[in-house]
Amino acid sequence: MEAPRIRAYVFGFIASVLLTVIPFGLVMASRFPRIAVVAGIAAAGTVQVLVHLRCFLAVHTLSDARWNILFLILTALIIILFVGGSLWIMYDLNYRMM
Amino acid sequence: MNTITAPARPAEAPFHYDSAANREFGFWLYIMSDLILFAVLFATFAVLGRAYAGGPGARQLFSLPYVFAETILLVLSSAVYGIASSGARTNRIFAVMAGLGLAFLLGLGFIFMETKEFYQLIVDGNGPARSAFLSAYFTIVGTHGVHVLLGLIFMAVMIGQVLAKGLTAMVASRLKRLGMFWHFLDIVWIGIFSFVYLIQVI
């Protein structure tokens, strides 16, 4: 019962270190095109967040896992509206005031 | 003379599993609202991140190996907290104390490095008042740092509670919520090192 949880922590730690080394390496090497580096950082960051949710936070083992995940999705939706909307408005404003 | 006696109060409800599950879900809702707070700070940073006002930019100010070391400290602290979580589930008090102690020390190391970084920036005249970029930088990284500091205080309190009360159901449920908070802070840090440090330095 307990062994899978410990394995998850060990796996999560190793995966996190790798997913941290990759984006830092991409930037510090400074010989890849900018767009590729940005995509690499975003991809490694997204995967690392998922690894943390699964292995460390273990959302699926919380007492009300379905409700937790439902609210996580709702929060993600609010964040997309807030962040996406703010950036859209600010860049548009910036563009029009040039 | 007031002769009306107070109505008998219902007996205190005993602590049982359902109430632990409710607290856990309530704490999850708090974490989600905190996530929205950080998302708004990320949006602010995305808008102001290149507004240097003639001052130094990210490339001159940030040392990536230093940020990498901070990241490893925080990830290691989160992973080590797993020893405490596992100990709480299997009722091994030594594992709980070892996990809490190690996670606390690693978190303290992270706060020490961050304080040093902030101190150096301010001493060099690159404090939050220098440019919009630095205001946004200090706000988002500082807010995360304050959360880590609160997590460390929470951990110190829990070390005391485990010593004083042992692994009661209430203490174990608090340890679980502390773990949720600690892992959540690590997730926010992924966003910070990716979008505040790395993308700015490219």
Is A79's CB within 8 Å of B35's CB? yes
Is A56's CB within 8 Å of B201's CB? no
Indicate yes or no: pTM above 0.80.
yes
Using one digit for the tens of pLDDT, what is the confidence trace for A18-71? 999 999 999 999 889 999 999 999 999 999 999 999 999 988 888 778 899 999
Going residue by residue through chain B, which has 202 residues, state the pLDDT in tens, using 9 for 90 and above.
556 665 555 555 555 556 888 899 999 999 999 999 999 999 999 999 999 999 999 999 999 999 999 999 999 999 999 999 999 999 999 999 999 999 999 999 999 999 999 999 999 999 999 999 999 999 999 999 999 999 999 999 999 999 999 999 999 999 999 999 999 999 999 999 999 999 999 8
Question: In sequence order, what are the residues at sequence separation of 6 or more whose Cβ sits closer than 8 angstroms to the Cβ of residue A63?
Answer: B20, B21, B24, B25
Place of tokens 């301010």: B122
Helices B132-165 and B17-48 sit at what angle, rounded to 10 degrees? 160
Distance between CA atoms of residues B21 and A20, nearest Å: 33
The whole-angstrom distance between A40's CA and the closest CA on chain B is 10
Contacts 24+ apart (CB under 8 A), B112-117: B113/B66, B113/B69, B113/B70, B113/B73, B114/B70, B114/B141, B114/B145, B114/B148, B115/B145, B117/B66, B117/B70
The residue count of chain B comes to 202
Is B68's CB within 8 Å of A24's CB? yes
ipTM for the predicted complex:
0.93
Residues of A at the B interface (Cβ-Cβ below 8 Å)?
2, 5-6, 9-10, 12-13, 16-17, 20, 23-24, 27-28, 30, 34, 37-38, 41-42, 44-45, 48-49, 52-53, 56-57, 62-64, 67-68, 71-72, 74-75, 78-79, 82-83, 86-87, 90
Chain B hits for A64, Cβ within 8 Å: 21, 24-25, 28
Measure CB to CB from residue B183 to each of A20, A42, A57 and give the nearest one.
A57
Measure CB to CB from residue B82 to each of A9, A45, A90 and give the nearest one.
A9
Is A71's CB within 8 Å of B71's CB? no
Place of tokens 């003379």: B1
